[in-house]
Amino acid sequence: MVEFLQSPGPIGVFDSGYGGLTILDSIRNVLPQYDYVYLGDNARAPYGSRSFEIVYEFTRQAVINLFEKGCHLVIIGCNTASAKALRSIQMNDLPGLDPKRRVLGVIRPTAEAIGNITKSGHVGIFGTDGTIISGSYPMEIKKLFPHITVVGQACPMWVPLVENNESNNDGADFFVRKYIDNLLAKDPLIDTIILGCTHYPLLYPKIRAYLPDHIQIVSQGSLVSNSLKDYLYRHPDMEESCTRGGTCEFYTTESEDKFRGSATVFLNQSIENVHRVVLD
Ligand code: DGL
């Protein structure tokens, strides 16, 4: 068994790249008192079209790295990694790494909220290829709300548009409309749509503009942060393992300068404390 620091530490948030910053931002708004460490595997992103084995291996490396940085609790702020790696890490790795540490994802808290939002009982999911092919959303939602019909649409062009800072430009319109039309053609009764990728909130204005008014859009940030607040309330031992200093450190597998520049777009503020890390 690897020895990790037992003293309290920051909460870890992981994403393949920048998308998890939208989750971190919401979490810090709801729970500003804790310390946070963000890790983006930018050098190996996107994960969206990678195989199960690779996403699992990369995510496992990131989780271990965050444990080594003192985190007792890690949030996988990436749908693709939550869909493809979270369960294996929870079941197969945590018992051997440290059974007291916890790794949580973004799909379950989103699924839990859906039953109270849809009226028609027809829900659409936008996600990466990996998230949609995994079938994780329909599975999680059906476990909780068997009467809800769930239809997915992969949007492989949306992450590249966001990563290249094209979200607000005219070129993005074509692909926003294309995936919306595809999804609604599959099920015209959809009244609720989940943005099942942490990059997609940056495309929100265009998605909103092309969707019929009666369709609600569910972004994950507030669902995940409120669920985390509730989790810490229900697990006082874990809450005591989280230090309270209000700080945030950023780690990236890419260059620090590149991360600093792009992170500004996701957080709408500039950041300084960025460090490069090697995962293996
Ligand atoms: N942000 C990730 C998600 O929520 C996807 C980005 C990627 O393809 O790596 O699924």
Nearest atom, ligand 1, residue 127 CA:
10
Based on the fold, state whether residues 188 and 123 are members of the same structural domain.
yes
Of 220, 235, 252, the one marking the end of a domain is 220
In the predicted structure, residue 3 carries a pLDDT above the cut 90: no
The answer to whether residue 3 sits within a structural domain is no
* Helix 220-234 × helix 20-30 angle, to 10°: 50
- Nearest alpha carbon, ligand 1 atom 2: 78
pLDDT level of residue 1 (50, 70, 90 thresholds): low
Rounded CA separation 52/101 (Å): 23
> Which of 198, 200, 254, 266, when mutated, tests ligand 1's pocket best, judged by the most ligand atoms within 8 Å of its CB?
198
Based on the fold, state whether residues 18 and 148 are members of the same structural domain.
no
Of 220, 249, 268, the one marking the end of a domain is 220
State the maximum Cα–Cα separation within the chain, in Å, rounded to a whole number.
Answer: 53
Nearest atom, ligand 1, residue 83 CA:
10
Based on the fold, state whether residues 143 and 95 are members of the same structural domain.
no
Residue-wise pLDDT for 77-120, tens only, equals 999 999 999 999 999 999 999 999 999 999 999 999 999 999 99
Average of per-residue pLDDT across 232-259: 97
- Nearest alpha carbon, ligand 1 atom 7: 46
248: enclosing H helix or E strand: strand 248-252
Average of per-residue pLDDT across 236-259: 97
Rounded CA separation 19/155 (Å): 15
Based on the fold, state whether residues 51 and 155 are members of the same structural domain.
no
Based on the fold, state whether residues 73 and 146 are members of the same structural domain.
no
Ligand 1 in reach of 77 Cβ (< 6 A):
no
The answer to whether residue 101 sits within a structural domain is yes
Domain region containing 60: 11-106+222-276
Based on the fold, state whether residues 116 and 210 are members of the same structural domain.
yes
**Which residues, 6 or more positions from 100, have their beta carbon under 8 angstroms from its beta carbon?**
72, 237
Per DSSP (E only), the strands in 97-196 are: 102-104, 122-127, 149-154, 192-195
Rounded CA separation 154/132 (Å): 6
Based on the fold, state whether residues 46 and 174 are members of the same structural domain.
no
The answer to whether residue 2 sits within a structural domain is no
Based on the fold, state whether residues 119 and 23 are members of the same structural domain.
no
Q: Which two tokens stand for residue 29?
A: 């708004």
Cα angle: 25, vertex 222, 226; to 5 degrees: 105
pLDDT of residue 164: 85
User: Measuring CA to CA, which residue among 158, 141, 159, 160 is closest to residue 150?
Assistant: 141
Of 202, 220, 238, the one marking the end of a domain is 220
205: enclosing H helix or E strand: helix 204-210
Active site (catalytic) residues: 78, 197
Rounded CA separation 162/172 (Å): 9
pLDDT level of residue 165 (50, 70, 90 thresholds): confident
Based on the fold, state whether residues 227 and 213 are members of the same structural domain.
no
- Nearest alpha carbon, ligand 1 atom 8: 48
Q: Into how many domains does the chain fold?
A: 2
User: Measuring CA to CA, which residue among 103, 94, 98, 74 is closest to residue 3?
Assistant: 98
pLDDT of residue 259: 95
Ligand 1 in reach of 16 Cβ (< 6 A):
yes
The answer to whether residue 4 sits within a structural domain is no
State the distance from the centre of ligand 1 to the C-alpha of 27, rounded, in angstroms: 18
Q: What CATH number should be reported for the domain holding residue 73?
A: 3.40.50.1860
Q: Using CB atoms within 10 A of its CB, is residue 276 exposed (0-12), middle (13-18) or buried (19+)?
A: middle
The answer to whether residue 1 sits within a structural domain is no
Based on the fold, state whether residues 101 and 119 are members of the same structural domain.
no
Based on the fold, state whether residues 203 and 232 are members of the same structural domain.
no
Based on the fold, state whether residues 65 and 204 are members of the same structural domain.
no
